[in-house]
Amino acid sequence: MDHRLDEIDRRIIYALMDDARNVSAPTIAADVSVSPGTVRNRIDQLEERGIITGYHANVDFERAAGHLANLFMCNAPVSERESMAQRAQVIPGVINVRELLTGRRNLHVLAVGEDTGDLRRIARALSDLGIEIEDEVLVQNETARPYSPFGPTDETHEAMLTDFISLSGDAEVAEVTVDRDARIAGMSLQEAAQRDVLDDDSLVVAIERDDAVVTPHGDTVIRPDDIVTLFARDGVADETLDAFRGGDPA
pTM here is 0.68
Q: Are the beta carbons of 204 and 228 closer than 8 angstroms?
A: yes
Q: What does the radius of gyration of the chain's CA atoms come to, in whole angstroms? A: 25
- Note the helical H segments in the chain: 7-19, 25-32, 36-48, 81-88, 116-128, 189-194, 238-242
Same domain for 128 and 171, yes or no, is no
Q: Give yes or no: residues 77 and 51 share one domain.
A: no
Residue at 63 is within a domain: no
Give me the residues of the chain with pLDDT under 50, please: 156-159, 249-250
Residue 194 lies in a domain: yes
User: In this structure, are 235 and 205 located in the same domain?
Assistant: yes
Question: Does 156 fall in a domain?
Answer: no
Residues 72 and 133 both lie in one domain: yes
Domain count for the chain: 3
The answer to whether residues 41 and 73 belong to one domain is no
User: Are 168 and 236 in the same domain?
Assistant: yes
Give the model confidence (pLDDT) of 41-75 as tens digits: 899 999 999 999 999 888 889 888 899 999 999 99
Q: For residue 232, what is the domain's CATH number?
A: 3.30.70.1450
Arithmetic mean of pLDDT over the chain: 88
User: Helix, strand or coil for residue 70?
Assistant: strand
Instruction: Provide the pairing of β-strand 161-166 with 172-177.
Output: antiparallel
Domain assignment of residue 203, given as a range: 161-242
Give tens-digit pLDDT for 194-232: 999 998 888 999 998 887 889 999 999 999 888 899 998
